[in-house]
Structure 1
């Protein structure tokens, strides 16, 4: 977890020109293990981290923006940053510190848990490995090699610093409404159960609408008609053909 084989003091790395992120690592390792992202790190540095060694990094880039591709960061610390406009499949362990009471806290709990249940065992595959295996979307040998250990990684573990907080979290989850599948709202007409379902087949026609004898007209406002006519007169036939990929017969 701490990316080090030896014990060491915790060092705090500050990114130049970044007022929202702090990186933590052990003095015995070059690899960081934790990232904090909050609204303003100034007060935290002053009030909470005065006894830690503060080192300014040379790289002036955001760690949080590249968190999905980072193999070093194992602990994320923060609050609203982790559920507002953030899409990641990294977290599967959540620890709520003094959270879970009040309307705003319930909203925070639900939204942050929503960030924690996202998984991606294979690139662009947002389903659990067992589901992918049943649908033959994963190599069988690969699945056999990970099936004994993958379930904890695909599960979300939620902890809290106080029993009351955990109870509040569970009550909030119970109150969340289950999403109704649209297909379950349809009723099958019993009179058509034994009848064939006719599916229309379409094919390209050699004719276009303007060649029909009785063309269906769609009335538009005279001003809109004049604007459209002036526009096509201005761009000319050649540009209209290239820009809108229309048939030359339309321009006659």
Structure 2
């Protein structure tokens, strides 16, 4: 799959990145360069943040969808492609259509099969699984056996709303992994904006029972979610959660989760 982030490039470069250019199309174009659509010919192209695509370029994309052809930047010879297009955005395209900042015809041409993914704030039960997955990935990247999170730090992470969704979570955890230098990730290792409530931290005697209950609730939710996603297969659920089957069985028994 060929990927293009429509928000990552200036408007004047996005067209040449997507559709390529011919020699002499602009200063410095000393050779022909195929674009991402030509690279994806016969396959799939993923257009991320399509809501940030300039209106002028949307017309060119519409032609690719309808006629399966386009002109490279500066070119006079049409290029034909057969490409499946997958697009994504976190912007409200319906509102953009009304505001004339996104073409209505392109919107309906793209909107064949639509998947709406709720924000992380609406998927609290997924947070422990996502945190665990990202932590494992960071540990591998940093060549560590494991990265661990203290209870108070986990409590902060589980209560955050993540307006930036998964990307924000990834950035938060990567920041913490860099700052902690191999130690357990504690609240002090998290970005400052997540530490704003720590100045009024209650005494350990007061917070311990509440924290323990909260962690148990999140653990139960994570296990139930993993079992549901794996259709009750405990082996697959254990791998997803990063634990062995005996540990999973023990925790299921602890939380009163039924299993085959």
TM class by shorter chain equals under 0.3
TM-score (norm 1): 0.22
Larger-Rg structure = 1
Query: TM-score if structure 2 supplies the norm length?
Result: 0.21
Bigger share in helix: 2
Larger strand percent: 1
